[in-house]
């Protein structure tokens, strides 16, 4: 697709519109470092328009029976599957999505809309006869206008995870895509309209967190906001929500997830599970097993097989369908990881990788990296790297492994 073919406007009230802010931001291909397009940056007037559209839509959407909503969800899921290749291309040029991971993402995105198609049937209240002579009823009602701020690493799945349950419950939503990967989400706006959702039910704005995200978190007419991203930004969202209208907040923040492998484990299965967890999507997901604890007696055997599998994966241009390991999402992310790698080299033993690389002289790539024998207090062991970087340490007892695995400030995932 040529640069002029990419939809780069805001999706408000079922129409693509230019930003009233007149501002744009660039999107670069992380594999080629070439400018892809300039995307509209939503300002205050734009966010207000999106909230107004959602407010108007809510008056009727909340009354639509589930039996009439469900076919819209099913149609959207069908359209997502139909346009899978285009969605892959949009994610590929914006943040380096590989074809193999895109297949999984499309399946998950469409599947979520299928799953939530009838979810409204199960939004039920409670009744109680605990007080003699009285019936107490607890009713569940939609918030109204809700908002979501999603990350760049799995934009389409995150879009579905936020949008599908919100509108299934009768809410209308304003969702901000990441400035690093806005193109696939804008395509979903086109499909939402084609599926038949009424104007204003879903509104998509693009922009930086400190501008557009801040406006949403502080907006007095947004009743709930959901955010997925870093701990630092999550704290700011909570503060802004509290400082405005005390809107309800849902946060999904970082992970430094452990895997524990005992001597009697099926080592081949363990190696493949851990390698896929840390390596797919170039390690850019919050549930990646970035800390691995291996029982001492099988540590060397595990490292040997684990490193061989990581080396076997193709690092390449995500436009090539057989590429497994694509670039990091942008230069800033690549540089941050390089800094952590240098810190890791001072803390533990480097087994493989540990440097940035390029493909055909271009791109923001990190070689798949394994450290071992790293102190639990080292930065590479404690901070979320968000890249293909793993720390493998040995343990002697189950109690030791559990204590060390749980010694983290992060709360996502573990196995």
Q: What is the mean pLDDT of residues 355-374?
A: 98
Q: How far apart are the first and last CA of the chain?
A: 41
Q: Quick one: what percent of the chain has pLDDT higher than 70?
A: 98
**Is the C-alpha dihedral spanning 28, 289, 108, 317 positive or negative?**
positive
Q: Is the predicted pLDDT of residue 415 greater than 50, yes or no? A: no
Q: How many CB atoms lie within 10 A of CB 5?
A: 8
Active-site residue identified among 91, 105, 172, 286: 286
Q: What is the mean pLDDT of residues 270-274?
A: 97
363 and 329 Cβ atoms separated by less than 8 Å: no
177 and 148 Cβ atoms separated by less than 8 Å: no
Q: How confident is the model at residue 412 (pLDDT cuts 50, 70, 90)?
A: low
**Is the C-alpha dihedral spanning 34, 36, 38, 40 positive or negative?**
negative
Q: Is the predicted pLDDT of residue 335 greater than 70, yes or no? A: yes
How many angstroms separate the CA atoms of 290 and 54, rounded?
40
Let me know if 286 is a catalytic residue.
yes
List the structure tokens of 229. 């991203």
Q: Is the predicted pLDDT of residue 352 greater than 60, yes or no? A: yes
Q: How confident is the model at residue 413 (pLDDT cuts 50, 70, 90)?
A: very low
Q: What is the mean pLDDT of residues 157-176?
A: 98
Question: Residue 97: which of 30, 188, 161 has the closest Cα?
Answer: 30
Q: How confident is the model at residue 132 (pLDDT cuts 50, 70, 90)?
A: very high
List the structure tokens of 340. 């952590």
Is residue 409 classed exposed, middle or buried when 0-12, 13-18 and 19+ CB atoms within 10 A define those classes?
exposed
334 and 365 Cβ atoms separated by less than 8 Å: yes
Q: How confident is the model at residue 124 (pLDDT cuts 50, 70, 90)?
A: confident
Helices (H) and strands (E) in the chain, counts: 13, 18
pLDDT at 297: 98
Active-site residue identified among 105, 252, 275, 295: 252
pLDDT at 349: 97
pLDDT tens by residue, 215-258: 999 999 999 999 999 999 999 999 999 999 999 999 999 889 99
List the structure tokens of 258. 């452990």
How many angstroms separate the CA atoms of 284 and 273, rounded?
16
Give Cα separations from 303 to 244, 308, 369, 379, 393 (angstroms): 51, 8, 12, 21, 10
Q: How confident is the model at residue 4 (pLDDT cuts 50, 70, 90)?
A: low
Query: What mean pLDDT, rounded, does the chain reach?
Result: 95
Q: How confident is the model at residue 411 (pLDDT cuts 50, 70, 90)?
A: confident
Q: What share of the chain is helix, strand, coil (3-state, %, to 5)?
A: 45, 20, 35
Let me know if 329 is a catalytic residue.
no
How many angstroms separate the CA atoms of 147 and 137, rounded?
28
pLDDT at 414: 35
Q: Quick one: what percent of the chain has pLDDT higher than 90?
A: 94
87 and 106 Cβ atoms separated by less than 8 Å: yes
List the structure tokens of 99. 């074809």
List the structure tokens of 202. 């879903």
List the structure tokens of 270. 């363990």
How many angstroms separate the CA atoms of 145 and 352, rounded?
49
């Amino acid at each position: 697709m040529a640069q002029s073919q990419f939809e780069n406007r805001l999706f408000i009230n079922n129409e693509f519109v230019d930003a009233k802010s007149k501002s744009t931001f660039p999107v670069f291909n992380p594999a080629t470092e070439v400018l892809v397009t300039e995307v509209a940056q939503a300002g205050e007037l734009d966010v207000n328009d999106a909230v107004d559209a959602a407010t108007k839509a809510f008056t009727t959407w909340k009354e639509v029976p589930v039996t009439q909503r469900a076919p819209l969800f099913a149609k959207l899921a069908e359209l997502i599957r139909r346009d899978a290749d285009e969605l892959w291309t949009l994610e590929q040029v914006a943040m380096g999505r590989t074809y193999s991971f895109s297949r999984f993402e499309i399946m998950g995105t469409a599947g979520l809309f299928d799953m939530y198609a009838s979810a409204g049937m199960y939004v039920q209240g409670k009744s109680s006869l605990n007080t003699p002579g009285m019936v107490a009823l607890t009713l569940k009602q939609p918030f109204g206008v809700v908002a979501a701020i999603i990350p760049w690493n799995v934009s389409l799945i995150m879009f579905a995870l936020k949008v599908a349950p919100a509108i299934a419950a009768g809410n209308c939503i304003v969702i901000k895509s990441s400035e690093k990967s806005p193109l696939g989400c804008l395509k979903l706006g086109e499909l939402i309209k084609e599926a038949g959702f009424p104007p204003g039910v879903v509104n998509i704005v693009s922009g930086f967190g400190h501008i557009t995200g801040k406006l949403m978190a502080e907006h007095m007419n947004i009743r709930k906001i959901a955010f997925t991203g870093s701990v630092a930004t999550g704290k700011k969202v909570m503060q802004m929500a509290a400082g405005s209208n005390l809107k309800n907040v849902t946060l999904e923040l970082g992970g430094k997830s452990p895997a524990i492998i005992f001597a009697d484990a099926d080592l081949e299965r363990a190696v493949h599970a851990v390698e896929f967890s840390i390596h797919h999507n170039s390690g850019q997901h919050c549930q990646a097993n970035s800390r691995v604890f291996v029982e001492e007696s099988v540590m060397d055997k595990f490292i040997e097989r684990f490193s061989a599998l990581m080396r076997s994966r193709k690092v390449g241009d995500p436009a090539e369908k057989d590429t497994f390991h694509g670039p990091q999402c942008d230069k800033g992310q690549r540089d941050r990881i390089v800094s952590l790698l240098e810190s890791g080299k001072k803390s533990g033993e480097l087994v493989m990788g540990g440097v940035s690389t390029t493909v055909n002289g271009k791109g923001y790539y990190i070689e798949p990296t394994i450290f071992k024998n790293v102190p639990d207090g080292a930065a590479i062991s404690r901070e979320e790297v968000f890249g293909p970087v793993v720390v493998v340490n040995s343990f002697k007892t189950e109690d030791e492994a559990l204590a060390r695995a749980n010694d983290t400030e992060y709360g996502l995932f573990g196995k």
